[in-house]
Amino acid sequence: MNAIISASDLAKDLVGARPPVLLDIRWQLTAAKAAGEPPFDGRAAYEAGHLPGAVYVDLERELASSPGKAGRHPLPDLAHFGTAMRRAGVSSGTPVVVYDGGQGWAAARAWWLLRWTGHPDVRVLDGGLPSWEGALDTSVPAPAEGDFVPEPGAGLLDADAAAALARSGVLLDARAGERYRGEVEPIDPVAGHIPGAVSAPTTENVGADGCFLPAGELRARFEGLGVTEGARVGVYCGSGVSAAHEVLALAAAGLPAELYVGSWSEWSSDPDRPVAVGPDPQ
E strands, 70-143, are 96-99, 122-125
d(Cα 82, Cα 62) in Å, to the nearest integer? Answer: 9
Q: Long-range CB contacts (< 8 A, 24+ apart) of 206-215?
A: 206/104, 209/127, 209/131, 210/102, 210/103, 210/104, 210/127, 210/128, 210/130, 210/131, 211/126, 211/127, 211/131, 212/4, 212/104, 212/126, 212/249, 212/252, 213/249, 215/252, 215/253, 215/254
pLDDT band at 40 (very low <50, low <70, confident <90, very high): confident
Note the pLDDT of residue 30.
60
DSSP code for 212: B
44-99 tens-digit pLDDT: 999 999 999 999 999 999 999 999 999 999 999 999 999 999 999 999 999 999 99
d(Cα 15, Cα 175) in Å, to the nearest integer? Answer: 38
Over the Cα atoms of the chain, what is R_g?
18
pLDDT band at 29 (very low <50, low <70, confident <90, very high): confident
87-112 tens-digit pLDDT: 999 999 999 999 999 999 999 999 99
Active site residues: 237
Of the candidates 140, 151, 159, the residue with the CA atom closest to the CA atom of residue 53: 140
Residue 80 to residues 2, 146, 148, 229, Cα–Cα distance (Å): 28, 14, 12, 37
Of the candidates 17, 22, 6, 4, the residue with the CA atom closest to the CA atom of residue 136: 22
d(Cα 223, Cα 15) in Å, to the nearest integer? Answer: 38
Q: Which residues contact 213 (CB under 8 A, 6 or more apart)?
A: 205, 206, 207, 221, 249
Note the pLDDT of residue 241.
97
Mean pLDDT of 32-49: 80
Neighbours of 65 (CB within 10 A): 17
Average pLDDT, the chain: 95
d(Cα 167, Cα 200) in Å, to the nearest integer? Answer: 17
pLDDT cut 70: percent of the chain above it:
97
For the cut 60, the answer to whether the pLDDT of residue 213 exceeds it is yes
Mean pLDDT of 137-161: 96
